[in-house]
Amino acid sequence: MPQPVIYPKDKEMIVKRYPENPILTKDDVPAAAKGIYNSGCIKTKDGKYVMLCRVETPSMKQLIWPADSNDGIHFTLRTEPIKMPDTKEFEEYTSGMYYDPRVTEIEGKYYLVFACHGKHSCRLGLMESMDMKKFTWRNFISETDNRNGVLFPEKINGYYCRLDRPNTGDGTGYIWVSYSPDLVHWGQSKVVAMAQDEWGWKKNGPGAVPIRTDKGWLVIFHAVNVQCAAQYVYHIGVMLLDLKDPSTIIARAKAPILSPMMDYELSGLTYAVVFTCGAVVENNGEVKIYYGGADTVQCLATAKLNDLVDACFNR
């Protein structure tokens, strides 16, 4: 039996929480809300940040509500959430629950992938935008019982490529990859990463938009371990996927890079959750990781891109 890894102190906290976390709370929403969390975020072509906030209403519906920022830290919510289509098809598959949006820029256009929940469980929906101001619905991109969809920022071998997390029959779920020529038809699906033995984790799923590095696609993901009394705890981890074949893991950190520890991560609508849907890489190599705390508040942490890549091999 191999000995457990002993981590040196300097590897302990490569991710630094923003000292004034949370950066958004329900009080920042211009309407009654129970929480604001698990928001996607992108730095747009003009250097501004747009966050797509998951806002939970008092009746536990979920809205996607854009917010703007000049510095990636201080965000102001717009006056209204994104309007979803008023169609029979939408009514059939959703019940006012749209959540965990990820936003990817591909060839100058922005694409939003998010969970759409309704009487048939949960599917992935796709919207697009040229300017992050006007959003247009495109289509559903998965069957039922699939969440955490995220598009890669470029085509791979000529195809759009997405990670997601279909549920399995036994209550676990893990990361898969699929390809599409047109963002309508999807296939060539393969398993990417099952739950990790070392952590005894129950399930995992994609988080932020994959980041291209010279060592592979850096994926910042979430993973769940189960404590006593069947309590799920959500952590954040990192792995590197092959640039040309993202179903191949090059390296995966053996320990989480962020685990719930602060009050705002431990206590809220759900106990002990850190959950990311977005990250922004700055020119100086800093990565801003946006994450939800306890399914209640929106938080920020930062790390150096090199440290995150290094953690995949050494943590």
Residue placing its CB nearer to ligand BMA in the complex, 148 or 302: 148
Residue placing its CB nearer to ligand BMA in the complex, 151 or 273: 273
Q: How many CB atoms lie within 10 A of CB 129?
A: 19
Q: Is 270 in the site for ligand BMA (CB under 6 A)?
A: yes
Residue placing its CB nearer to ligand BMA in the complex, 172 or 213: 172
Q: How far is the CB of 307 from ligand BMA (least distance, A)?
A: 25
Q: Which of residues 233-252 bind ligand BMA (CB under 6 A)?
A: 234
Q: Is 275 in the site for ligand BMA (CB under 6 A)?
A: yes
Residue placing its CB nearer to ligand BMA in the complex, 40 or 216: 40
Number of amino acids touching ligand BMA (CB under 6 A): 9
Contact between 164 and 147 under an 8 Å Cβ cutoff? The reply is: yes
Rounded CA separation 46/56 (Å):
29
Phi, psi (deg, nearest 5) at residue 174: -155, 180
Rounded CA separation 236/247 (Å):
20
By CB under 6 A, which span of 9-17, 75-83, 85-93, 269-277 interacts with ligand BMA?
Answer: 269-277
Residue placing its CB nearer to ligand BMA in the complex, 18 or 271: 271
* Interface map 13-42 toward ligand BMA (x if CB under 6 A): -------------------------x----
Residue placing its CB nearer to ligand BMA in the complex, 201 or 234: 234
Q: How far is the CB of 99 from ligand BMA (least distance, A)?
A: 6
Among 72, 295, 303, 309, binds ligand BMA (CB under 6 A): 295
Contact between 219 and 278 under an 8 Å Cβ cutoff? The reply is: no
Residue placing its CB nearer to ligand BMA in the complex, 39 or 247: 39
Q: How far is the CB of 100 from ligand BMA (least distance, A)?
A: 5
Q: Is 164 in the site for ligand BMA (CB under 6 A)?
A: no
Residue placing its CB nearer to ligand BMA in the complex, 156 or 195: 195
Q: Is 126 in the site for ligand BMA (CB under 6 A)?
A: no
Q: Is 100 in the site for ligand BMA (CB under 6 A)?
A: yes
Contact between 24 and 41 under an 8 Å Cβ cutoff? The reply is: no
Tell me the torsion sign for CA atoms 135, 139, 145, 149: negative
Q: Is 114 in the site for ligand BMA (CB under 6 A)?
A: no
Rounded CA separation 247/18 (Å):
33
Q: Is 273 in the site for ligand BMA (CB under 6 A)?
A: yes
The whole-angstrom distance between residue 4's C-alpha and the CA centroid of its chain comes to 29
| Residues near ligand BMA (CB under 6 A) | 38, 99-100, 234, 270, 273, 275, 292, 295
